[in-house]
Each structure stands twice: as C-alpha cells, then as structure tokens.
Structure 1
C-alpha cells in the first residue's frame, strides 16, 4: 500500500547505521514501491510552500555540522520529477494554498531515510517545504490537497520527529527515555491512532509537555501534513515504534 506516511528521519548518524530502525526502513522500501515520492522535510522551510522541481539528479544539502568527513561525501543520486512537482502545485493552487516552484537540494530530512529504503536511488523524489508558523488546521489542509495521490502511484511522506528539543538531547543514544518525552509521545500515539483530529490540532494546549517536546514546530508539522493527506476513512497504523533514542528522540512512525 502506498498510503501516506510519517517517518522519523533519524539523525545524520542514520546515514551509515545498521540498526533496528534502518532495517525497518529497508523492509518498508521493499514493501512500498511507488512511482514517485513527495516528501515534506522538517529541514526545508519556507513561508510559501515550495516545491523543489527538477528532472535532474538532486544536489546534496549537508545541513549538519561537526560530523566526520565521510558524512559530507555521501551521495544519493536520485532524480526529481517536474511532472510530479506540477501535479503537487496544481492541487495546492486548487485549494488556494500559496505555492511556488524553486529548486533546493535534498537535506538530511530526505536522503538518510531514503538511502536505506531505496538504496538504488531509482525513484523520483520531489522535496516540499514546510512552514512551522502556519496553524495546525492549515498544515492539515496542505495534506488534504494531496489526498489520493497514491492512486497515481505517488507516495507522500512527512519527514520529521514527534519530539524534537535539542536542548534536551542526550549524547548517549541509549540514555533512558525522559518521562516528559514518553508522556508526550504516548499522547500523540493515542490521538493519531484514534484519528482524533480535534485534539491533534490543539496539541499545543492539550498534549502533556507540548512546549518542551515541540519548542518549535518544524519537525512536528510533517505529521499533520501526512495525516491530512491520508484517507479519512482509514484507521491510522503504527509503522515503527521500538525505541526512544538520546533520551527524548522517538522514531515512532505512522501510515495513514
């Protein structure tokens, strides 16, 4: 099934990891073989929804700092698709959502996970920006504009993290989960699986420890976009939910 997904994108370390999470990504790629991928990355921000349109091989955006040299040499030579980019633009314009096409390469919200899921880099990738300052209802509306793309073989991915507070980041990946992070993640899981849209759009006031878990929304809104793009009559499912890394970073991922 190609129904939309929210995937945790991992840290740059994910690029070279062989872990439970990267093995999940490999299995995901084997069971989900789209004609093209539209991916909303937490690391691609713009006030106007921006589609990175190209038919060429994507440039690499090494948007991280302080890693060994090999992390700045990795390549993922996937091409884009101007046709799919235009489909996305047309759908957004029909919903009166401001949109533009402006090229930007693949960042680490895109290539680390796709490198494990589709190592052959043979599926066209269309990165799309997020605006963390839009209200949750508008994030859902962006997703709703793309509802049904799976019927054309196009997979919509929201790439981010449910809990993303670098001030609470523990350098030890095996640090025990912090209570506040676990409570927030549990609340989100419950509301997503119940498709409780009313609660999710009010997560900032209803979810426990929301401000601590989501001090800035760029990593959270890909969840709302992916949720909005899913079939409202279909029950959401957990794709991956095995560990919290670095004390507060959950790899919890969903299919809608």
Structure 2
C-alpha cells in the first residue's frame, strides 16, 4: 500500500467535476486499504496529535465565503482507536511524542480528497496533525517511523500542496507561472535521485522556494509521505496540474 502525497487545493474540489476529481476517483477505485492515516495541512499542533475515536467524524468547514452547497457536504467516515494506537506506538518507539484527540473532526484537508477517493466513507480514517515550525527533516522522520503501516494494508496520505502562495495567486489564469513549474521540477528531480540532503535544504537550494513555500504547513505533509515509503521506493508523479497560475496539484506515489 504505497504512501501518497495528494494536493487538496481549493475546498471547491469536494463538489467540482474536473480532471483532478476524476483522477482521485480512479485512484481510489484501484486501492483497497483496510484503513487510512492522513496527515493534513489544516491541523497544526506542537506535538504530533492523532484522532482517537471509533465514532463518526464531524465534517469541519474550516473556510469561509464559499457556496452553500459546499457546506452541505458530509463525509461520515469512522475513526479507529486500534489504528490510532498503532500509530502512536510506532511514533513513540522512535522517540516522537504523541497526543490523542478524541473530539476533532475531519478538516477539509482530509474530507475533500477522501470524498472522491472513497465516496462510501466505509474505510476507517485516522487524521494526524503537522507542525510547520518543525523542519522538513523532522516530518520525514515521522513518516519513517510509520514505514510498517503498509505491511498492515494501511494507506498513508500526506495532504498538502507543494506550491501554495495565496498572496500571489493569479485568479482565472490557466497557464502556470514558470517559477512554480521550476520549483516542482526541482522537487521531482531531487526525489527521483534520492537526494535527501538537498531535499532537507530545499529552502536554500530549490529555485523560488520562498515564493512556493511562504509557510510550510502545506509543504511538510510531502515529507511525511516520502519518509513513510520503503527505502528504495522510487517516487512516481501520478498527477500534475496547476490552478490560478500558482497553485500546484502535483501528486506523487512513493
């Protein structure tokens, strides 16, 4: 069950029918995980925090100003205390402090993707937080601590965006900005070469890193997914597109 990094982009993804939503449905149809562990850019905590429930999640609408239709979407997936406990144990074994949260619902970094991937909401989901103030290397180590999950038929998803700068977004522009493409090109090349040292120093080595990643909350889930892959796994670009000039929809399988 190869880990995935998936772009969640705009919340409108949940109700849109386009090339990307079709890709997500096709991808989900090809997968049959026993459970999902998803690291979302929209849940930030100091320590790694894991949802801990067997009940049905609340659908969190952590955005404003969108059509009423979007606020009527529900994704009634259940959690899994068993899987959450496994995640906590694996992380703590590797010296990573972990907390449980028994009340948090699924934010749009999770449910907008899962609605297309697994529309029946019949697969247990465990949601995990990120900390944008920790290094990308620290998030890689979090993923590395979870490498055994794939052997238990558990799908690890990093949900974020590689190029995410809403301050300079080009609304209505279909063609991507060249600098956004160059940044993603650098990432893909570094990952394909297995250049971890360079990837850990992306902020000084990658072209236009400051433009692409003004704040790291959407970027660090990539490193969790990368770290959770088997050591010799080769990254595969499974989708690539851009919205509004600068918003990347780069997706990878590891």
TM-score (norm 1): 0.97
State the match for 2:224 in structure 1. 225
- In the alignment, the residues of structure 2 paired with residue 155 and residue 195 of structure 1 have an alpha-carbon distance, to the nearest angstrom, of 22
Q: 1:209-241: per-residue Cα shift (whole Å, max 9, x none)?
A: 101110000000000010000011121111112
Q: Which residue of 1 aligns with 2:212?
A: 213
Match of 2:38, SS state, is strand
Rounded to whole Å, the distance in 2 between the matches of 1:90 and 1:114 is: 25
Counterpart CA distance in 2 for 1:72 and 1:16 is 10
SS at match of 2:36: strand
Residue in 1 aligned with 2:112?
112
* Equivalent residue, structure 2, for 1:94: 93
Residue 58 of structure 2 aligns with which residue?
A: 59
Give the superposition deviation at 1:70. Answer: 1.6
Aligned residues: 253
Within the candidate set 242, 245, 248, 2:243 is matched to: 245
Q: Is the 8 A contact 1:39 1:157 kept in 2?
A: yes
Unmatched 5+ stretches in structure 2: none
Distance in 1 between the 2:15 and 2:61 partners? 14
CA distance in 2, matches of 1:80, 1:219: 23
Quick one: distance in 2 between partners of 1:35 and 1:248?
35
- 1:1-256 superposed matches below 5 A: 2-103=1-102, 104-172=104-172, 174-241=173-240, 243-256=241-254
**Mapped contact 1:38–1:126 kept (Cα < 8 A):** yes
Conservation of the 8 A alpha-carbon contact between 1:148 and 1:230: no
Give the deviation of 1:141 after TM superposition. Answer: 0.6
Structure 1 position 193, deviation (Å): 2.1
Residue 14 of structure 1 deviates from its aligned partner by: 0.3
CA displacement at 1:115 relative to structure 2: 0.4
Q: For structure 1, which runs of at least 5 residues remain unmatched after alignment?
A: none
Give the CA RMSD over aligned residues.
0.9
Shift of 1:185: 1.2
Per the TM alignment, residue 171 of structure 1 is displaced from its structure 2 partner at its CA by: 2.1
Q: What is the CA distance between 1:59 and its match in structure 2?
A: 0.7
How many Å separate the matches in 2 of 1:188 and 1:45? 24
- Cα distance in 2 between the residues matched to 1:78 and 1:220: 25
Cα displacement (A) at 1:194: 2.0
| Distance in 2 separating the partners of 1:144 and 1:236 | 15
**TM-score in terms of structure 2 length:** 0.97
